[in-house]
Structure 1
């Protein structure tokens, strides 16, 4: 059977992250575990050593970029050692728009370093900044071997169409599908650009507990229902999308 895919999760933020990582391997789940600071990258790599199917992203989360701006130098030193970048991007939400200029400085250096070092998969955070991020991709990185994944995309339909034209993929979780706008966007995405994610432990399952990668199945089920395709057909398609996205990297 094709694997499940959780293409955006914060493994190191679970109290029992080692056991969560082991369960991913046991349950045949392909995982992109993002980090929020470059300091966490090596520690995460050590935790998942011996667990198949888990990629560790080198990241600087935009919500931390202002206070951790100096960490970009460590990011630039480590970038040659991984094909996976995330979580990175911009956040102009109510709590973080005041730091947007610092976020932009960090994000520009992240993309420059990744483009020099490529090929890379890049998991993008784009809260209220989809247009700015797409402007940057289109203007400066259209010819770089950077393979962008829009995590929990919340932009407009027009911005989603721009992202598709720019070659982006989209990782979709249950919380995104619970919102009318998110469901409309997910229904209209090209089938060959869709991945699933949990964004655990920041999302909750039906039981009210933080989601783990094994909880990605409800997102798959909801997507299949939304797009009126059999669940297993979509599961196979998402696995194929993953392998195409990562072609030549693993």
Structure 2
């Protein structure tokens, strides 16, 4: 399984898509903009094991803000939305007001529609992400992708019932390992974040879940097979919220 993958952006995307559809029980293909969602949905064949969702990535929110209405319309016909969220890092902080306006609109729309499963980007913005979720309790299910906050923010997210999608690249940093070790065992699912996430200079592939289980087993001090089974059960549970 892979709960956060930019499958449409790999070199040779169609070939990677076909392989992922064959090898993975489930792959969540998150898109970066509403127009990208529309184009990807047309370009790639439908597969029962690949879910393509509309999103509006905070890094390009200021460039694609005019597509917000399209995103809110697309959300009507799906149960999962992503990638959305906030990015408060120095490179993107200039456009934070635009990001937040868009994210708040997405959360409000999710609540209005009865709840959606959201793949959320929260780099240097966890406090605001959680505040916006709190403002609309009926938003659905939050999956915080590649969580990089601090321990207090992790506990706050955990207390709100958030899920966490993590991949092999997260374990390349000491902070990533510390956070992974403290995550609730019953609310973690695997992701690749490929092709943007890399390990050893190579993009992480959508079928990287066994490596995630292996690395997670080290910080949880559990057998890798046990962790792999746990991730599979978690994934099956989370998918229930994503079915139309």
1:68 partner SS: helix
Residues 248, 134 of structure 1: CA spacing in aligned structure 2 closer, same or farther, 3 A cutoff? Answer: closer
Distance in 1, Cα, partners of 2:140 & 2:149: 21
Distance in 1, Cα, partners of 2:224 & 2:42: 34
Gaps of 5+ in 1: none
Match of 1:235 in 2: 228
1:141 to 115, 136, 139: 136
1:235 partner SS: helix
Residues 166, 109 of structure 1: CA spacing in aligned structure 2 closer, same or farther, 3 A cutoff? Answer: same
Shift of 1:214: 1.8
More helix by share: 2
Match of 1:60 in 2: 56
RMSD between aligned residues: 1.5
Kindly report which structure 2 residues correspond to 1:200-239, keeping only aligned pairs within 5 A, or say none. 200-206=194-200, 208-239=201-232
Distance in 2, Cα, partners of 1:236 & 1:141: 33
Distance in 1, Cα, partners of 2:167 & 2:197: 9
1:189 to 180, 183, 190: 183
- Are residues 1:160 and 2:143 paired? no
Distance in 1, Cα, partners of 2:99 & 2:198: 28
Contact 1:83 1:118 in 2 (8 A): no
How many residue pairs were aligned? 243
Gaps of 5+ in 2: none
Alpha-carbon deviations, 1:21-42, whole Å to 9, x = none? Answer: 1111221342111100011113
Residues 92, 44 of structure 1: CA spacing in aligned structure 2 closer, same or farther, 3 A cutoff? Answer: same
Residues 153, 69 of structure 1: CA spacing in aligned structure 2 closer, same or farther, 3 A cutoff? Answer: same
Bigger Cα displacement from structure 2, 156-165 vs 46-55: 46-55
TM-score normalised to the size of structure 1? 0.92
Distance in 1, Cα, partners of 2:91 & 2:36: 24
